[in-house]
Amino acid sequence: MTITGYASRETIDLYHAATDICLALHVPQSSFAASAGVTWALSSGKPTIATKIPSFLEINQKAECMVLVTPNAVHELSWQISKLAADRDLQARLVRNALHYAADNGWPEVTNRLVTVYRELVSDPARRAPSAGVHEGGPVQRGRERTPGCTSLRRRPS
């Protein structure tokens, strides 16, 4: 099944209920780095096979929750689907890890972590960033003159 347009969460849940393995296949040259579809697959309770793109590699390094395949490698994909379909222990481990990852990275958890960071910044003046347009050495100069964190490399006159 290929979904090429909007599908409600309820519809996606029906698709997940009707499948044994979720696929999150992406072409690395596409204009996006990842997709919400992979997080829906990870939270579906079904094992997931995804393309080896940087964002999915990063998730898998943290959570070991997917089987990753080389982009456009149809024989590898076919082999991994067959292998995963036959291995109930691997399916269970991937699903367990995926559900744990999804719970740890859902909006409520991400929001709580963000609020914690903001509270720490507000409560500790030493950790606050300088106000916009203000640099320790005075106002930020735009253009060719001075930018915070940059050093001008000019030749000295001979």
Tens-digit pLDDT profile for residues 55-77:
999 999 999 999 999 999 999 99
Residue 157 has pLDDT above 60, yes or no: no
73: closest CA among 51, 93, 90, 95? 51
48 to 26, 62, 85, 116: CA distances (angstroms): 13, 15, 11, 32
100: closest CA among 56, 43, 55, 49? 43
The length of the chain is: 158
Share of residues in the chain with pLDDT > 70 (%): 73
Domains of the chain: 9-110 (3.40.50.2000)
pTM (two decimals):
0.68
Token reading at 9: 């969460």
pLDDT at 144: 44
More confident position, 83 or 16: 83
How far apart (Å, rounded) are the C-alpha atoms in residues 91 and 85? 8
pLDDT at 146: 39
pLDDT at 126: 74
